[in-house]
Structure 1
Amino acid sequence: MRIAITGASGNIGTALLRRLAGGEHEVIGLARRTPETVAPYSGASWHSVDLTEPDAVARLRTAFEGVDTVVHLAWGFQPSHDLDYLRRLGVGGTAAVLQAAQQSGVGHLIHMSSVGAYSPAPGIRVDESAARDGISSLGYSQHKAEAERLLDTYERTAGGEHQMTVSRLRPGFVVQPDAASALLRYGLPGFVPARIVTLLPILPLDRKLSIPLVHSDDLADGIVRVIQRRAPGAFNFAGEPPVTRDDIAAALGARPVQLPAKVLSTLAGLGWHARVQALDPGWIDLAFSVPLLNTDRARTELEWRPAVDSRKALSMTVQAMAERRGAPSPVLRTRSGLDQLRKLLTSGPLGNRRLP
């Protein structure tokens, strides 16, 4: 089978390339900046495509020639202050992938959505039929919901012999040690040493926090099962148990201290607006708004089971953050304090910059 993966050098893409390594499939990787030709990236042939550019559809059609399945993972998180760019990349990029895949005769499109596409339902387990309006305070959430509406329209209006099978995957928060540096860049200013994450004496956070989380390798296994079965429709993916404030405190080796979510969001907003840190405060709102995920459909129809306990996945990732672990791709590169400081001085705060 010939498989094309957009965003193949990112968190989920890297795990998927590991999962497909040495198999019978021909893999085509697409990224704005291609990674080093070392494992797991050496197992794919690469195309450089910027989904925000006017020639994106033409470039995608070239890459999708003879492809059986497209796995659309490409998405953006920075610059968090440029919502227009992030929408062009997320929603516009999805439209470009959908158009190019249809025109190229691709049989199966797998779209990586998110728990963030669901309407607020904190602490409630939802299945794939739940409402998908996102939350209003975070562009990422709104854009994920909007991208799914594009797929709704396609499935409702497309016809003929070349209509693609469409699958949409909605994982919880996705972590792995190789993504530690990338995750840390989003949440910790570059001038702060990475080691501090395991040296915090207290964790001020609302005790109401309860979020779905999944290891990237388990999600990659789910993707492969969807590919193999050409399984249509939506699938939730999450490890167990849901991650709580106390679980995060334990992973950090810190003592949990009650801080209302609204206060934390306000403080994060002050830092974000001042360009001191790159984390959009809407991510705090999302963490306290997302539902928990019922994964019965994936377990029944795909025979999927997460191999990594969610608390272990979190603990492994936190330790990797302290060690500045990364991978040899522009997206997952190892965090460097000196490099972060240099870019701060030459290119401005991370929230204003497009990442490689």
Structure 2
Amino acid sequence: MRVVVTGASGNIGSATLRELTAGGRHEVVAVARRRPELSDRAAAEASVTWRPADVGADDLDPLLDGADAVVHLAWRFQPTHRPEETWRTNAVGTRRLLAAVRRRGVRALVCASSVAAYSPAHHDDPVDEGWETDGSSSAAYCREKAYNERALDAFEATGEGTRVVRVRPAFVFQRSAASEQRRIFGGALVRPWMFDRRLIPALPVPSGLRLQAVHAEDVARALVAAVERPVAGAFNLAAPGVLRRSELGELVGAPTVEVPPRLVSGALDLGWLTHLLPVPGALADALLAVPLLAADRARTELDWTPQHTAAEAVEAFLSGAARSAGSGMPPLHP
């Protein structure tokens, strides 16, 4: 199959390329705003064709020539102070890609959504894919994920033959993306040495926090299964284990201190308004409001069994952030 992957150089995208090219079973076109630097020999031997493009502005039709499937992962978290820029990529870019998929008659579209697309849940009962998707807080990330859910609804309603899959993972981690995620969510103030567990006297944890996570490699296997199998609709992805205060303390190897959620979101808002931190308090609100996910449908219809637990996924981030882990992909540079 000829598979086009947008956002191919990011956290999930890099893992998806590895999975798609394993065994040489697919011809892969990788689309990203910034392509990795490859030597002439590496470029000649690569099993991936890189095409630089911005989904929010460039002509997408030529990228989809001959495509059997599109995996749409392109996304921008930053700059949160200029929401028109993230909206152009995340919302407008998705609409433009859907239009190109329709014009080119691509048979399958697999799109990455998120647990943050779901409406808030104030209980600990895992929800299935029928839970409402109006966004878990007012944060731009949640709003844009919810908007894309409506865009996919409208695309499917035309009923013109493209098989549509939307994957809603819990929080996604891998070691090579740790430095990128540290920069996205912590900015310049949060340095690698701060993740040295020998230097952490105590871990503040917002009261009520319960966290699901999934490793990027496991998400990639689900995405490729969705490309290869005749499935449609939404799939939750979450690794075994729910991390609460005690489990997070064990991961960090430090005692925990429970703090009021309003104090956390207020501190983030202050840092965001003064441009000291890159994320607003609404993202912390989302973290506390997202539902727990039931991933039974993925296990049944995609034959998906995570190879990493939630704790192992978070550990990959923590150890990677402490050691400035990264890769040659431009967004993932250490």
The reply to whether residue 26 of structure 1 matches residue 37 of structure 2 is: no
Q: Deviations over 1:44-69 (max 9, x none)?
A: 1011111222xx2x2x1101000000
d(CA) in 1 for partners of 2:46, 2:278: 32
Residue 277 of structure 1 is matched in structure 2 by 277
The one of 47, 52, 70 aligned to 1:48: 52
Q: Deviations over 1:267-296 (max 9, x none)?
A: 111001100111222210111000010111
d(CA) in 1 for partners of 2:185, 2:247: 18
d(CA) in 1 for partners of 2:119, 2:94: 21
Q: In structure 2, what residue type is equivalent to 1:25?
A: H
Secondary structure of the 1:30 match is strand
Kindly indicate whether the alpha-carbon contact (under 8 Å) linking 2:30 and 2:50 is maintained by their aligned counterparts in 1: yes
Residue 338 of structure 1 is matched in structure 2 by none
Residue 175 of structure 2 is matched in structure 1 by 177
Kindly indicate whether the alpha-carbon contact (under 8 Å) linking 1:207 and 1:246 is maintained by their aligned counterparts in 2: no
d(CA) in 1 for partners of 2:17, 2:158: 33
d(CA) in 2 for partners of 1:246, 1:276: 29
d(CA) in 1 for partners of 2:279, 2:64: 34
Residue 96 of structure 2 is matched in structure 1 by 96
Q: In structure 2, what residue type is equivalent to 1:188?
A: G
Secondary structure of the 1:66 match is coil
d(CA) in 2 for partners of 1:146, 1:167: 16
Secondary structure of the 1:15 match is helix
Q: In structure 2, what residue type is equivalent to 1:24?
A: R
The reply to whether residue 193 of structure 1 matches residue 204 of structure 2 is: no
The one of 165, 168, 175 aligned to 1:167: 165
C-alpha deviation, 1:4, in angstroms: 0.2
Residue 139 of structure 2 is matched in structure 1 by 138
Residue 248 of structure 1 is matched in structure 2 by 248
* Range that drifts further, 132-141 or 110-119: 132-141
Kindly indicate whether the alpha-carbon contact (under 8 Å) linking 2:183 and 2:190 is maintained by their aligned counterparts in 1: no
TM normalised by structure 2 equals: 0.94
C-alpha deviation, 1:124, in angstroms: 3.0
1:303-314 residue pairs with structure 2 within 5 A? 303-314=303-314
The reply to whether residue 151 of structure 1 matches residue 155 of structure 2 is: no
Q: Deviations over 1:243-286 (max 9, x none)?
A: 22332232222211010111101011100110011122221011
Residue 353 of structure 1 is matched in structure 2 by none
**What is the identity percentage for the equivalent residue pairs of Structure 1 and Structure 2?**
39
CA 24–154 in structure 1, closer or farther in 2 if over 3 Å, else same? same
C-alpha deviation, 1:136, in angstroms: 3.9
C-alpha deviation, 1:24, in angstroms: 1.6
Aligned residues: 327
What root-mean-square deviation, in Å, do the aligned CA atoms of Structure 1 and Structure 2 show? 1.7
C-alpha deviation, 1:28, in angstroms: 0.2
Q: In structure 1, what residue type is equivalent to 2:167?
A: L
C-alpha deviation, 1:191, in angstroms: 4.8
Q: Deviations over 1:213-257 (max 9, x none)?
A: 100000101111111103111000000102223322322222110
d(CA) in 2 for partners of 1:155, 1:137: 26
* Range that drifts further, 133-142 or 241-250: 241-250
C-alpha deviation, 1:171, in angstroms: 0.3
Q: In structure 1, what residue type is equivalent to 2:138?
A: S
Kindly indicate whether the alpha-carbon contact (under 8 Å) linking 2:265 and 2:280 is maintained by their aligned counterparts in 1: no
d(CA) in 1 for partners of 2:187, 2:78: 14
Residue 205 of structure 1 is matched in structure 2 by 205
Q: Deviations over 1:142-169 (max 9, x none)?
A: 110111101111111243xxx2110000
Residue 113 of structure 2 is matched in structure 1 by 113
Secondary structure of the 1:304 match is coil
d(CA) in 2 for partners of 1:194, 1:222: 31
The reply to whether residue 259 of structure 1 matches residue 265 of structure 2 is: no
Secondary structure of the 1:298 match is helix
1:327-342 residue pairs with structure 2 within 5 A? 327-334=327-334
Gaps of 5+ in 2: none
Kindly indicate whether the alpha-carbon contact (under 8 Å) linking 2:137 and 2:286 is maintained by their aligned counterparts in 1: no
Secondary structure of the 1:234 match is strand
Q: In structure 1, what residue type is equivalent to 2:17?
A: L
C-alpha deviation, 1:192, in angstroms: 4.4
Gaps of 5+ in 1: 335-356
d(CA) in 1 for partners of 2:156, 2:295: 23
Residue 221 of structure 1 is matched in structure 2 by 221
